[in-house]
C-alpha cells in the first residue's frame, strides 16, 4: 500500500488519503506534549505527504484544534482535508486554571463543556472550532459521542435533539460550507439507529474494527453498504496495544489490557513474527482491506511515529499471514484480507 493513495468517502465525492493524522494526542491524552514537539511532528507529517487531519473540540478541550490550526493555516487550503467534531459546546472554566480537572486529558486547556446536538448547539460548536483553528472552512463535520456510554438513558432525548442539528448539517453541506457530515461512534449499537433516523455520509469508527475485533462485519458494515455510507477507522492500534504489543503496560480501549486481550495479542504477534511482519503493519493495513473503509487515522505523538506509520503502510504482507490468523481462530472468517478491484 502507498500512504498517498486516495479513496472516496462513501457518496460524499471527497477523496481521502488512506493514511490520515489523528489529532487526539495533540490534546495531551496520555502524556503532555510540548509545543516545539508538536510543531516538529506536524511539519514532518505535512512534509511526508499526509493530507488528512482529524481533530475535535474535546481533544484537550480545544488544545488539539489550536495546535493543528497553527500549522494548517500556513498551508494552501486546497491541499488538505480537515475534519472536526460537533456536539460539545465549551465555555471558560470559572476558577484557577490549576484547579481544573480535564480528565481524561492529562493536559489540555481549562474549558468546560456541555452536550448540545440541536441546530443551535452544532452551529455554536462549529463556529468555535473555526475560531480555535483559525480556518474558515472545515471539510467534514462529525457528530461526536452520541452513544449510551456518554448519555445512558438520555440517548433517545439526544437523538430527538439531533433532528434539528442534522437539518443544519444538511444546509451547511448544500451551501458548500462543508463537504460531508458523519458520526463518530464507539458504541456499535448506535450505527443502525443513526442509519434508520438520519441520512448521513459516513461513520468514524473508533475501536471496534481492528485486528483484535471484527464484530461490525456481522450486521453493522452490511447496513452501511446499500446507502453508500463510508467508514473512517480511528484508533487502528486499539488505543495502544496493537502498537506496543502484549507487554504488561499495554492499553486496550483506553484502559489497561486484561489477560484475555494480552493473550490474544500475543498469539497474533507470534504469527506476525512467523512471517517477519511487524504487528503495527498488520494492524494498520488490515482495516483498509474492507471496501467501505476510506482511511485509517492513528493518533500521532511525535516525528518518529509519523515516519513509522508511513513505513507500516508500505510494508509488504503475504496473504498467508491473514489466512494463518483465520485458521487459528484469531480473525473473523469473513474479514476481507485482499484489496477489492
> pLDDT tens digits, residue range 271-287?
999 999 999 999 999 99
Percent above pLDDT 90 for the chain: 89
Nearest to 39 by CA among 61, 74, 70, 82: 70
Domain extents in the chain: 6-243+278-315
Q: Catalytic site residue 113?
A: no
pLDDT digits (tens, 9 = 90+) for 144-158: 999 999 999 999 999
At residue 254's C-alpha, the angle toward residues 251 and 257, to 5°, is: 35
Residue the block writes with cell 475534519: 83
- Supply the pLDDT for residue 132: 98
Q: Catalytic site residue 59?
A: yes
- Supply the pLDDT for residue 240: 84
Lowest mean pLDDT among 34-43, 150-159, 239-248: 239-248
At residue 219's C-alpha, the angle toward residues 218 and 225, to 5°, is: 110
User: Pick the catalytic residue: 46, 53, 54, 209?
Assistant: 54
Average pLDDT estimate for 246-265: 82
pLDDT digits (tens, 9 = 90+) for 48-92: 999 999 999 999 999 999 999 999 999 999 999 999 999 999 999
Q: Catalytic site residue 302?
A: no
The CA distance from 115 to 145, in Å, is 9
pTM of the model: 0.96
CATH code matching the domain that covers 6-243+278-315, chosen among 3.40.1080.10, 3.20.20.100, 3.20.20.10, 3.40.50.2300: 3.20.20.100
Query: Residue 253 pLDDT > 90, yes or no?
Result: no
User: Pick the catalytic residue: 53, 59, 117, 209?
Assistant: 59
DSSP string, 134-162: T-S--SEEEEE--SHHHHGGGHHHHHHHH
Q: How confident is the model at residue 248 (pLDDT cuts 50, 70, 90)?
A: low
- Supply the pLDDT for residue 341: 57
Average pLDDT estimate for 311-337: 97
* Set of cell numbers at residue 243: 502498537
User: Pick the catalytic residue: 52, 53, 85, 252?
Assistant: 85
- Supply the pLDDT for residue 244: 86
Query: Residue 22 pLDDT > 80, yes or no?
Result: yes
pLDDT digits (tens, 9 = 90+) for 83-95: 999 999 999 999 9
The CA distance from 227 to 258, in Å, is 37
Q: How confident is the model at residue 234 (pLDDT cuts 50, 70, 90)?
A: very high
Residue the block writes with cell 500556513: 74
- Supply the pLDDT for residue 75: 97
* Set of cell numbers at residue 64: 488539539
Give CA torsion, residues 33, 53, 20, 140, to 10 deg: 140
* Set of cell numbers at residue 34: 510540548
Amino acid at each position: 500500500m502507498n500512504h498517498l493513495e486516495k479513496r472516496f468517502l462513501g457518496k460524499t465525492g471527497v477523496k481521502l488519503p488512506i493514511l490520515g493524522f489523528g489529532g487526539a494526542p495533540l490534546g495531551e491524552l496520555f502524556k503532555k506534549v510540548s509545543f516545539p514537539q508538536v510543531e516538529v511532528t506536524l511539519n514532518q507529517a505535512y512534509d511526508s505527504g499526509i493530507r488528512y487531519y482529524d481533530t475535535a473540540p474535546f481533544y484537550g478541550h480545544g488544545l488539539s484544534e489550536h495546535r493543528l490550526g497553527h500549522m494548517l493555516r500556513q498551508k494552501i487550503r486546497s491541499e488538505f482535508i480537515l475534519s472536526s467534531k460537533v456536539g460539545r459546546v465549551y465555555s471558560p472554566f470559572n476558577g484557577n486554571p490549576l484547579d481544573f480537572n480535564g480528565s481524561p486529558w492529562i493536559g489540555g486547556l481549562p474549558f468546560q463543556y456541555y452536550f448540545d446536538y440541536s441546530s443551535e448547539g452544532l452551529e455554536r460548536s462549529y463556529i468555535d472550532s473555526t475560531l480555535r483553528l483559525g480556518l474558515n472552512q472545515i471539510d467534514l463535520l462529525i457528530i461526536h459521542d452520541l452513544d449510551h456510554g456518554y448519555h445512558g438513558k438520555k440517548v433517545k432525548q439526544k437523538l430527538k435533539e439531533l433532528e434539528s442539528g442534522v437539518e443544519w448539517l444538511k444546509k451547511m453541506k448544500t451551501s458548500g460550507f462543508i463537504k460531508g457530515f458523519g458520526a463518530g461512534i464507539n458504541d456499535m449499537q448506535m450505527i443502525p439507529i443513526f442509519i434508520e433516523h438520519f441520512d448521513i455520509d459516513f461513520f468514524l469508527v473508533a475501536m471496534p474494527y481492528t485486528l483484535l475485533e471484527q464484530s461490525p462485519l456481522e450486521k453493522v458494515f452490511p447496513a452501511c453498504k446499500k446507502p453508500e455510507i463510508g467508514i473512517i477507522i480511528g484508533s487502528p492500534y486499539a488505543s495502544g496495544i496493537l502498537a506496543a504489543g502484549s507487554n504488561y503496560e499495554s492499553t486496550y480501549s483506553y484502559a489497561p489490557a486484561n489477560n484475555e486481550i494480552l493473550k490474544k495479542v500475543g498469539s497474533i504477534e507470534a504469527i506476525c513474527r512467523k512471517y517477519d511482519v511487524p504487528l503495527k503493519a498488520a494492524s494498520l493495513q488490515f482495516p483498509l482491506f474492507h471496501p467501505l473503509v476510506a482511511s485509517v487515522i492513528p493518533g500521532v505523538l511525535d516525528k518518529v511515529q509519523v515516519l513509522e506509520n508511513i513505513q507500516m503502510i508500505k510494508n509488504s504482507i503475504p496473504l498467508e499471514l491473514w489466512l494463518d490468523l483465520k485458521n487459528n481462530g484469531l480473525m473473523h472468517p469473513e474479514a476481507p484480507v485482499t484489496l477489492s478491484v
